[in-house]
């Protein structure tokens, strides 16, 4: 494989526009670029979670299961950005949605039913999983905004939606593996 980037800066974006892979120039505020940026931000947050999981896995070996499920997701998020950059390119397949759904179902069996609303926190790992979940939701909103004007493939929309669900369940599983109590939401007291 040859070099993909021979020069990091090009100066072609100084005017507020950028190029898609097909050569089309669009504003950096275009919904397509917003979606690509949101996916990139989400992927960076997921990379941080994976790095933290690797570090903690030395102490809590069960975390390897979470790492094994989330690692391919980082590559598929990158694929989604590629699809948005190259509108005729299709890299994401429905089998990835199925893989995520199977992981969610398997983890939910281990966790049991959720009886309370939970808040992000309890440990650094749990909180970072929730940061990733909320970042996935943001990326989904950006993709849906683009979809309202330029149709995206259902596989992309389904996949990004499922990722936030996966990360919610992953946060709960991490709490269980770390033997860390989840933080339950407490309603404000009613004034007298």
Position 25 scores a pLDDT of: 79
Position 13 scores a pLDDT of: 59
Position 22 scores a pLDDT of: 77
Domains plus CATH for the chain? 25-181 (1.20.1200.10)
Task: Pick out the chain residues at pLDDT < 70.
Answer: 1-15, 18-19
Q: Please identify which residue in the block is written with the tokens 């974006």.
A: 13
Position 1 scores a pLDDT of: 42
Q: Model confidence over 62-102: pLDDT tens digits?
A: 999 999 999 999 999 999 999 999 878 899 999 999 999 99
pTM: 0.89
Position 6 scores a pLDDT of: 60
**Alpha-carbon gap, residue 49 to 51, rounded angstroms:** 5
């Amino acid at each position: 494989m040859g070099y993909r980037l021979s020069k990091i800066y090009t100066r072609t974006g100084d005017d507020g526009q950028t190029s898609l892979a097909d050569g089309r120039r669009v504003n950096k505020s275009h919904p397509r670029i917003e979606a690509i940026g949101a996916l990139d931000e989400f992927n960076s947050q997921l990379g941080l979670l994976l790095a933290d999981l690797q570090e903690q896995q030395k102490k809590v070996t069960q975390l390897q299961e979470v790492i094994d499920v989330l690692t391919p997701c980082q590559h598929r998020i990158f694929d989604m950005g590629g699809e948005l950059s190259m509108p005729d390119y299709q890299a994401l397949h429905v089998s990835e949605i199925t893989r995520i759904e199977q992981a969610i179902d398997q983890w939910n069996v281990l966790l049991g039913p959720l009886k309370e609303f939970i808040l992000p926190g309890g440990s650094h790992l749990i909180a970072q999983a929730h940061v990733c979940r909320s970042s996935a939701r943001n990326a989904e909103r950006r993709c849906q905004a683009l979809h309202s004007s330029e149709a995206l493939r259902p596989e992309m929309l389904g996949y990004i939606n499922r990722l936030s669900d996966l990360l919610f369940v992953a946060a709960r599983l991490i709490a269980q593996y770390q033997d860390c109590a989840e933080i339950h939401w407490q309603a404000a007291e009613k004034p007298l």
